[in-house]
Chain A
Amino acid sequence: MSSQKETGPSWGPRAAHTLLNKDVPRVDGPAKVSGRAVYAHDVRLPGMLFARVLCSPYPVATVEFDLEAAKKLPGVGAALDMGVKSVRWLGQPVAAVAADTPERADDALRALNAKWTPGKWVVTREQSLAEGAPAVGKNGNRGRENSQGDRAETEAAMQGAAGVVEAVYTVPVQHHACLETHGVTVDYRGGDEAKVYASTQSTFAIPEGAARALGLKAESVESIVEYMGGGFGSKFDLGFEGQLACQLSKQAGKPVHLLLTRAAEFTSAGNRAAAHFVMKGAIGADGKLLALLSDIEKGGGVGEGARMPQPYIYEVEKSWTKSVGVLTNTDSSRAMRAPGHPQSSFAMESIVDELAYKAGLDPLEVRKKNLKHEAYQRQLTRVAQEIGWPAHPNKTAPGKAEGRWCTGIGFGVSVWGAGGRAECQVDVRIGRDGSVSSAVGSQDLGTGVRTYVATIVAEELGLPVTAVTARIGSSRLGQANGSGGSTTTASLAPAVKSAAWNARTKFAEHLAQALGTEATNIHFAGGQVEDKKNGKKLAFAQACALLPQEGLSARGEWVKELAGNGIHGAQAAKVRVDPLTGQVEVLKMVCLQDSGLPLNRLTLRSQIAGGMVQALSYGLLEERVIDPDLGIALNANFEDYKIAGSMEIGEIVALIDDDDQREQAIGVAEATCIPGHSAIANAIFNACGARVRDLPLTPDKVLAALGRT
């Protein structure tokens, strides 16, 4: 990069990038593929105790347990009664124990000999809304109602429409299913300080709560997040699991390892809200969406559930939307990757599709007609091309449900903000020995943060990525925001760039003095430092040797101009359906996604592909099942809560929309998982006329939709 008369950092022209906007293998790849990456679950400390949490198997119950019996067992170092005598949601924690081996911890949990007396509950929408249902909250089972728009006007706008569709679309509760369960390993040994190794999306959300639970000052507690095994929106705070770990640790004066079991991870670590959409829409003969009524009931457990916007993305002339949470005695929903959007997408994309077919119109053209942003026009055209729509025989009517396989195509679009804010503080250090490091307390969820924390600095200094050590994941390092809302990239990357720029210009100033030249003549490229005036070159390490003893440090903070906001994506899916069995195979999925400046094309494509895969899994397989009468969780495991595996994955095509030339860093994590399942549902209809309006799109429902049951 050159040092013209610059006023501040800029990403620079695309053509000039040496590392950004290219494929850069993750700097933490080798650690991950060789099993050397240490997650909270992997931390081992002397005298460490293993903890287990007693969670309610019933939605409403009173409980008795024998803490003393547990404490008496050999190896038990601590035990806690949370003081909860009656629970109001399935999975609610009431006690915890800790022992010196995992087996003894399990024994201690059993030794509590918990006796549950089930009460009266509601766990489904129907139960909750039934006359005389037990109340979940103080104010009954319906939360606050929100509505927007004019119902009467919207109804009126449906008069004389070319097509009207009334339908109910439903999505069940789904789970984040992070592979690393929630929890922490607390390194506290009875003194004045502690380290908390947390599986979290927010390094800086941990120390204060942990310190309180440990009875320490906040600044005496460091939280460490070198690696974490997935969050997807569910890991933003210390949680009851972190809280309990700290309390047990304080009690025992020993380190405590508390990572939830898989069953508890399902019942007690959050979920994506269910939804029941009663929709009525109308379309004009020209394909214009005339009106949409949406009556939404959200199932967020004891919580309200995410906001589910309708009309979702598409322009509808007149609309009315009412939304309310319907409470149940189950774990509150939490943010889950694009909260509310995948649910809204399913209902909206389905009804847009149904309206198009009803009016005898091409569902692709109807979409284009009703989308404002020009990005969608080119994105839909491109994905349609990629998926083979132009040559596809069934466009305005579905294929027949006959033969060995019926092939169909469906579409969906996404939108997200993903803007940034001023919160991150990044430090770059250049050592006299030639070492370069870039440090910030941010976490990397698998999003590739660690890599761009190195890459941005490396490019700025004209170095290979391997020359920069990225230090992240500690609350002792510079501030960073939690990874939510896809805001990390737009918040952090500009701050990294700013720190790198500050370091480079400072270095250039110093070198200018040492070499007797102007700072604006100093260029960093190809691992070398060049004085452009006289062509003299130094290896980077040689230039570093000219630094003072303490090397050079620079801090960077947010630069608004380097961050962007507002991304769009279009997706298409091609499926084949066996009309005799209802089997659905997703042959291909395509996504064209914009994202401002791609910091790393390799990891960006992984985010795009990953989002499609998650939506495929969500669409085809996932739902939480609770027995409404017994109240027990029936699939709190990976056997019956089914997540897509290798054989479900066909061709996945992740395309970066290079027509988006914004020189701005924007996050993309959530947008990519929004419409995939909707596209699949539409593809199933296009294939054989089976319209499934309830996720997941399992064979039983396809058969029912085909009238075979």
Chain B
Amino acid sequence: MKAFKLHNPSELEAALALLDTPEARAGKTRILAGGQDLLTEMKEHLAEPDALVNLKHIPGLDGIAAGGAGEIVLGALCTLTALEEHADLGKRLPALTQAAASIASAQIRSQGTLGGNLNQRPRCWYYRSEHAPCLKKGGKECYSYGGMSKYNAILGGGPSYIVHPSDLAPALVALGASAELVSKKGARTVALEKYFTLPSESDVTRETVLQPGEILRSVRIPAPKANTRSSYLKFREKGSFDFALASVALALVIDGGTIREARVILGGVAPIPWRAKGAEAALTGQAPNRATFEKAAVEAVRGAEPLAHNAYKVPLTKGLVIRALEELCA
């Protein structure tokens, strides 16, 4: 890693001030939370910040608490293990705790944070290589497009075909979460569904709307409606420790033998957590049975545009949607 200054502010204001300097805005200062992604980027020289702003000495950023109206507020510095093991969250929002439990390894979860997980950079092996000057690094080309695309996007791709690697993202989008961002200018709230950006619609070098100078401070989840059940099913090539080849986050309201509401968010298949609206429509108002699930699965991948090496993600995602629905509705 390149040498850097390590700032350990003890107040949020101080941290925001450090992120507001011209150097910081030019990308020379990075936020250090758990460091489980940042340090890997720095060791590969993909990121060479002159300074790190460590958020871990600032109190009040890591809580799991109740907000108003049964809302749940998660501090961005909550560790993934804290989320995974939270008994009450596990009862009320199983999609969240299942997603947290599926991340990386126990060692990484104990240090990795909610904010870090949402803001992590892509795993695309072209992105992660110093020798592939791709679009995301300010280059001219997406190398996965005509290259080794096994782990890249089948939905929403172009001009970059990364998949967003976060497991918490699809689960939280399924749960209708929003993100609170703060900067020196103030605070703003963004629905998590709008937090992640498609490369075709936004700055291709970013994956989120987080601007230089901003810190993701917390994530709020509205109280789940009555009769809500949720889950997160992650499919890995290496079951022990891997990013998703594809994943499915579900939040269903089932009442009187009918699916009243459905949110189906796919992970591992698009540059953002992918809201499968067609699948949601195919489920809403239907009985939770295999025939319904199969229709939803077909809709989930409608419009998929596989690359040379990832056509398997189409049947895989379909199969996974069916398995996830079967398990959740069992």
Contact = CB atoms under 8 A, between A and B. Distances in A.
A and B touch in the complex (CB under 8 A): yes
Contact of A704 (B150, B241, B312, B322): B312
Contacts of B239: 645, 647-648
A283 to B, nearest CB: 32
B51 interface: no
A699 interface: yes
A57 B314 contact: no
B280 to A, nearest CB: 21
Contacts of A639: 123
Contacts of A482: none
B240 A103 contact: no
Contact of B129 (A582, A632, A644, A647): A632
Given A621-B237, A627-B143, A703-B316, 4 more contacts: A582-B319, A632-B132, A634-B126, A645-B239
A709 B125 contact: no
Question: When A and B form their complex, which 8 residue pairs have the shortest distance between CB atoms, in order from nearest?
Answer: A645-B240, A580-B319, A700-B312, A708-B315, A647-B240, A581-B319, A647-B239, A642-B238
A304 B125 CA distance: 29
Interface string B101-130: 000000000000000000000010110011
B226 interface: no
Given A581-B316, A634-B125, A625 B148 contact: yes
B225 interface: no
B147 A627 contact: yes
Contacts of A640: 125
Interface residues of B, number: 35
11 contacts: A57-B131, A103-B1, A581-B319, A582-B316, A645-B239, A645-B241, A647-B239, A699-B237, A699-B316, A703-B312, A709-B315
Contacts of A709: 311-312, 314-315
Interface in A677-709: 698-701, 703-704, 708-709
A642 B320 contact: no
Contacts of A627: 126, 132, 143, 147-148
A106 interface: yes
B147 A648 contact: no
B240 A644 contact: yes
Of B143, B240, B314, chain A has the most CB atoms within 10 Å of the CB of: B240
A648 B323 CA distance: 20
Given A583-B235, A634-B129, A646 B240 contact: yes
Nearest to A580: B319
B242 interface: yes
Contacts of B148: 625, 627, 634
A196 to B, nearest CB: 29
Interface of A: 57-58, 103, 106-107, 110, 578, 580-583, 621, 625, 627, 629-630, 632-635, 639-640, 642-648, 698-701, 703-704, 708-709
A442 to B, nearest CB: 34
Contacts of B242: 642
B69 interface: no
B147 A630 contact: yes
Main secondary structure of the interface of B (DSSP, over half): loop
B274 to A, nearest CB: 18
Interface string B315-329: 110111011000000
A518 to B, nearest CB: 63
Contact of A630 (B3, B131, B237, B311): B131
B169 to A, nearest CB: 19
Main secondary structure of the interface of A (DSSP, over half): loop
Given A627-B147, A709-B312, A580 B323 contact: yes
B245 interface: yes
B131 A632 contact: yes
A647 B311 CA distance: 26
Contacts of A647: 239-240
A542 to B, nearest CB: 53
Contact of B240 (A107, A582, A648): A648
A648 B238 CA distance: 7
Of A627, A644, A701, chain B has the most CB atoms within 10 Å of the CB of: A627
Interface string B290-326: 0000000000000000000011101110111011000
B150 A635 contact: no
A639 B236 CA distance: 12
Interface string B134-177: 00000000010011101000000000000000000000000000
Contacts of A700: 150, 310, 312, 316
Contacts of B131: 57-58, 630, 632
Contacts of A583: 235
Interface string B170-191: 0000000000000000000000
Interface in B213-244: 235, 237-242
A634 B148 CA distance: 9
Contact of A103 (B3, B126, B146): B3
Contacts of A581: 235, 315-316, 319-320, 323
Nearest to B147: A627
Contacts of A632: 129, 131-132
A38 to B, nearest CB: 24
Contacts of B310: 700
Contact of B322 (A580, A629, A645, A701): A580
B161 to A, nearest CB: 14
Contacts of B319: 578, 580-582
Of A632, A699, A704, chain B has the most CB atoms within 10 Å of the CB of: A699
A110 B123 CA distance: 24
A408 to B, nearest CB: 18
A34 B147 CA distance: 46
A701 to B, nearest CB: 8
Contacts of A621: 237-238
B147 A629 contact: yes
Contacts of A644: 238, 240
A582 B148 CA distance: 20
Contact of A106 (B1, B150, B318): B1
Nearest to B314: A709
Contacts of A106: 1
Contacts of B130: 57
Nearest to A704: B312
A57 B129 CA distance: 10
Contacts of A648: 238-240
A165 B320 CA distance: 34
Contacts of B150: 700
A476 to B, nearest CB: 39
A703 B132 contact: no
A700 B311 CA distance: 8
Contacts of A704: 312
Contacts of B237: 621, 642, 698-699
A640 B125 CA distance: 8
A699 B238 contact: no
Contacts of B126: 627, 634
Interface in B27-50: 45
A646 B123 CA distance: 23
A645 B238 contact: yes
A27 to B, nearest CB: 31
A640 B127 CA distance: 13
Nearest to B235: A581
B236 to A, nearest CB: 9
Nearest to B238: A642
A629 B144 CA distance: 11
Contacts of B315: 580-582, 703, 708-709
A643 B242 CA distance: 11
A625 B242 CA distance: 17
Contacts of A57: 130-131
Of A58, A635, A639, chain B has the most CB atoms within 10 Å of the CB of: A639
Interface string B1-32: 11100000000000000000000000000000
Interface in B245-271: 245
B117 to A, nearest CB: 16
Nearest to B297: A580
A640 B150 CA distance: 11
A548 to B, nearest CB: 57
